[in-house]
Amino acid sequence: MQANFKMLIKGILTFIPGLYAVFAKPMSETGTHSARYCYSVWLRHLVTAHENGLQTDPRVVAELGPGSSIGTGLAALISGAESYCALDVVEYGGTERNLAIFDQLVDLFRSREPIPGEDEFPEVKPNLASYQFPDQVLTAERLNRALEINRIARLRKSVVSAGADDSCAHYKVPWHDVEVIESSSIDMIFSQAVLEHVDDLGHCYDGMYQWLKPGGLMSHTVDFRCHNTAQAQDWNGHWTYSALTWRLIRGRRSHPSINRLPVSQHLRFMQLAGFNVVVEQRFPLPTKIDEKQVAPRFRPISQTDLTTSGVLIQALK
Ligand SMILES: C[S@@+](CC[C@H](N)C(=O)[O-])C[C@H]1O[C@@H](n2cnc3c(N)ncnc32)[C@H](O)[C@@H]1O
């Protein structure tokens, strides 16, 4: 399997003093620079939870890896949550961007805009059976209460004073220590395209378990594809690379990078942490590689792992 030559060269160049800063730049922009993306992502987590009979009205919400803005969490606040805490390892965005996204999100909820779907965001998962505004979850009564003018003004102020004691929005960057969030204080934690980037997955799932209240929900979309480290048509080519090739591709960068762990490993860590997995919606893709081509580190590997390009997992503490 051919490594993506450009990625390999860039990785190698980071080992040369003076070139590290040029080639080790963190991710510049993620999907959350767009209000419509944030709206779409939050509603997909919410609708999927509803379809599976899980809670859809969390009071205290946390998010791992919000990226370019905290907009997805702001969508959670606007639709009814009382507080939101974002944890990331790289600082992105800023108040001005978050405010602009907040205002656009309020308009989207006020006009009960349909969920932006596969045409607009073909890469965003999970796909839904319907992209109509989810009146079944955000009923007129709930939304009227949530969009009440004084409430929205208070939330908007919280975006400006994010992190202050009286703010509803908190952004902790970088986070490492599980103590960053009080134990058993969160109703729902979610992430979108983040857990494939986390190096210490066991620590992360243990943290999430500790933060959630008993019965609390976690909802994660994970993308197992190669993130440009292989040729475009070889979505799982990264599992064939030896430790050395991978070390060269990664270079001295700590971000952006992927942990290369397949779905079974995520499920194992969740189980070890104590989670009860309720929803496992896999996004299958045909594989061009078989077990013999997979690097020793990943063997044995199941056919399920080899053909799972992504997953939406919802689990309860
Ligand atoms: C591909 S971006 C996705 C961002 C955003 N969720 C979105 O949908 O646009 C991955 C994000 O995960 C963050 N990340 C990586 N490792 C992390 C960790 N250990 N804890 C929290 N966030 C992490 C990155 O900094 C980045 O914000």
CATH number of the domain residue 41 falls in? 3.40.50.150
**% of residues, the chain, pLDDT over 90:** 79
Say what the pLDDT of residue 19 is: 64
Say what the pLDDT of residue 163 is: 84
Say what the pLDDT of residue 222 is: 98
Mean pLDDT of 304-309: 98
Q: What is the tally of structural domains in the chain? A: 1
* CA atoms of 315 and 175, how far apart (whole Å): 23
Say what the pLDDT of residue 57 is: 97
- Looking at the chain, the number of H-run helices and the number of E-run strands are 11, 7
C-alpha dihedral sign at 28, 34, 39, 41: negative
Q: What's the predicted TM-score (pTM) here? A: 0.94
Closest residue by CA, ligand 1 atom 14: 65
* CA atoms of 315 and 317, how far apart (whole Å): 7
Is 93 a pocket residue for ligand 1 (Cβ < 6 Å)?
A: no
Closest CA relative to residue 115, chosen from 79, 88, 86: 79
Close Cβ partners of 156 (under 8 Å, ≥ 6 residues apart): 99, 102, 103
Say what the pLDDT of residue 177 is: 94
Closest residue by CA, ligand 1 atom 24: 65
Q: How remote is the CA of residue 65 from the centroid of ligand 1, in Å?
A: 3
Q: Which domain holds residue 131?
A: 5-316
Closest CA relative to residue 283, chosen from 234, 205, 224: 224
**% of residues, the chain, pLDDT over 70:** 94
Query: Would you tell me the crossing angle of helices 5-13 and 243-250 to the nearest 10 degrees?
Result: 70
* CA atoms of 223 and 246, how far apart (whole Å): 18
